[in-house]
């Protein structure tokens, strides 16, 4: 019955993504994460868990629900001629006043939740990846096949260049698409996230493996600025994976079984934040690669950061297993 409750609730989450627009709905996740960390600091673990599990990453505002619903609603609206392009994840679709657009958002909210739950049942992989991020990608694939042209790669290629070429009509974030840009941005964003994640995890053990959500939440909030015309970078995939890697590797670098037993160790902290910087840069590269292969080649949105997050999460898990076995 709990699954049924969550599935029905996710219809509302998908609606929120449609009427607010996918990007604004995602930015709200950042505010909820900050509130969840605040609840943990205040000594209310039940409230913190509820905000993390049900609101930020669950059927209320979870990216696989609300953002995914907004993405699908935009794709559908473009197909029906209500919206200029299906890649418009910034416009709040409430202004269209179309009930069918709202219903598509709601249905894809439920679909995203169902996909995420299914991923968690995959042996080993389900517990060693980011099921929410993977569900965002898969939901985007479904919406493109359903409402875009019947192909994943359905946009006109740039006149010059190969498969990975971009131009003004086939691009994502132009000011962070060069290797010198996304690698430096990813490395430093990963460093930023790693530092605050290690500090939070060592000083507030109740946060544990969720310490990387603080920097991720800040990055999510900046998407609202981007949506309002600010030339802000897209960094939530970099901060998510950079912070995750730092917290995951910290005990290994400190020579302790867990981060609680390791405690605050300045030497281990230095090693951990450098590892976070590396993974942040890798995540930046993954996001740009995916956008060049799929986002820039399509007429609907399939999210590059979500791809980078689920791949990066699994990469961290695999590297940790290998490093642990070699230690």
- pLDDT digits over 175-185, tens only? 999 999 999 99
Q: Are residues 321 and 234 in the same domain?
A: yes
- Average pLDDT of the residues of the chain: 94
Does 278 map to a domain?
yes
For the cut 60, the answer to whether the pLDDT of residue 232 exceeds it is yes
Q: Rounded to whole angstroms, how far apart are CA atoms 303 and 53?
A: 22
Structure tokens at 301: 């949105």
Q: In which domain, by residue range, is 28 found? A: 1-148
Residue 198 shares a structural domain with residue 291: yes
Predicted TM-score (pTM) of this structure: 0.95
Same domain, 91 and 10: yes
Residues 127 and 208 in one domain: no
pLDDT at 82 over 80: yes
Look at residue 30 and tell me if it is in a domain: yes
Domain-located, residue 176: yes
Are residue 174 and residue 322 in the same domain, yes or no? yes
Residue 309: other Cβ atoms inside 10 A:
29
Condensed to tens digits (0 to 9), the pLDDT of residues 122-172 reads: 999 999 999 999 999 999 999 999 998 766 776 666 555 666 778 777 788
State the pLDDT at residue 159: 55
In angstroms, the CA 195 to CA 116 distance is 29
Q: Which of 127, 148, 169 is the last residue of a domain?
A: 148
pLDDT band at 208 (very low <50, low <70, confident <90, very high): confident
Residue 132 and residue 63 in contact, taking contact as beta carbons nearer than 8 Å: yes
pLDDT tens string 243-300: 999 999 999 999 999 998 999 999 999 999 999 999 999 999 999 999 998 998 889 9
Whether residue 259 lies inside any domain: the answer is: yes
Together in a domain, 83 and 103: yes
Q: Do both 86 and 106 map to the same domain?
A: yes
Is residue 92 domain-shared with residue 163, that is, in the same domain? Answer: no
pLDDT the model gives residue 170: 79
> Among 91, 118, 148, which residue terminates a domain?
148
**What digits encode the pLDDT tens for the residues 6-41?**
999 999 999 999 999 999 999 999 999 999 999 998
Claim to verify: residue 111 and residue 165 sit in the same structural domain: no
Considering the domain boundaries, does residue 182 fall inside one? yes
Q: Which residue has the higher pLDDT, 144 or 1?
A: 144
Q: Do 5 and 127 fall within a single domain?
A: yes
Does the residue 12 lie in any domain? yes
Q: What distances in angstroms separate CA 226 from CA 15, 96, 109, 219, 254, one per listed residue? A: 22, 22, 23, 11, 38
Is residue 262 in some structural domain? yes
Q: How far apart are CA 63 and CA 138, in angstroms?
A: 12
Q: What is the DSSP letter of 211?
A: T
* Overall average pLDDT of the 69-81 stretch: 98
**Which of 148, 168, 189 is the last residue in one of the domains?**
148
With respect to residue 153, please indicate whether it lies within any of the assigned structural domains. no
- What's the domain count of the chain? 2
Tell me, what's the pLDDT at 192? 98
d(CA 327, CA 322): 9
Contact call for residues 239 and 189 (beta carbons, < 8 A): yes
Q: Are residues 192 and 325 in the same domain?
A: yes
Same-domain pairing of 130 and 179: no
Mean pLDDT value of segment 200-222: 92
**Distance between CA atoms of residues 28 and 92, nearest Å:** 14
């Amino acid at each position: 019955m709990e699954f049924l409750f969550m599935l029905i609730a996710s219809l509302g989450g998908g609606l929120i993504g449609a009427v607010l627009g996918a990007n604004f709905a995602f930015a709200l996740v950042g505010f909820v994460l900050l509130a969840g960390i605040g609840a943990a600091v205040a000594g209310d673990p039940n409230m913190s868990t509820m905000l993390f599990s049900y609101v930020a990453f669950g059927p209320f505002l979870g990216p696989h629900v609300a953002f995914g619903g907004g993405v699908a609603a935009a794709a559908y609206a473009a197909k029906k001629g209500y919206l200029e392009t299906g890649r418009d994840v910034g416009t709040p679709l409430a202004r269209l006043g179309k009930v069918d657009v709202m219903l598509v958002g709601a249905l894809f909210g439920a679909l995203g939740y169902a996909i995420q739950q299914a991923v968690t049942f995959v042996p080993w992989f389900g517990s060693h990846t980011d099921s929410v991020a993977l569900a965002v990608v898969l939901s985007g694939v479904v919406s493109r096949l359903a409402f875009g042209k019947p192909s994943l790669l359905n946009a006109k290629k740039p006149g010059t260049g190969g498969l990975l070429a971009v131009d003004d009509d086939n691009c994502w974030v132009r000011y962070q698409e060069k290797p010198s840009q996304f690698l430096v941005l990813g490395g430093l964003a990963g460093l930023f996230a790693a530092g605050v994640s290690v500090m939070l995890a060592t000083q507030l053990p109740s946060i544990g493996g969720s310490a990387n959500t603080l920097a991720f939440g800040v990055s999510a909030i900046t998407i609202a600025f981007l949506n309002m015309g600010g030339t802000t970078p897209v960094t939530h995939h970099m901060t998510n994976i950079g912070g995750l890697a730092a917290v995951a590797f910290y005990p290994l670098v400190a020579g302790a079984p867990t981060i609680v037993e390791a405690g605050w160790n300045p030497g281990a902290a230095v090693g951990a934040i450098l590892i976070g910087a590396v993974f942040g840069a890798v995540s930046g590269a993954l996001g740009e690669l995916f956008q060049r292969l799929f986002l820039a080649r399509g007429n609907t949105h399939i999210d590059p950061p979500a791809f980078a997050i689920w791949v990066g999460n699994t990469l961290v898990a695999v590297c940790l297993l290998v490093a642990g076995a070699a230690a």
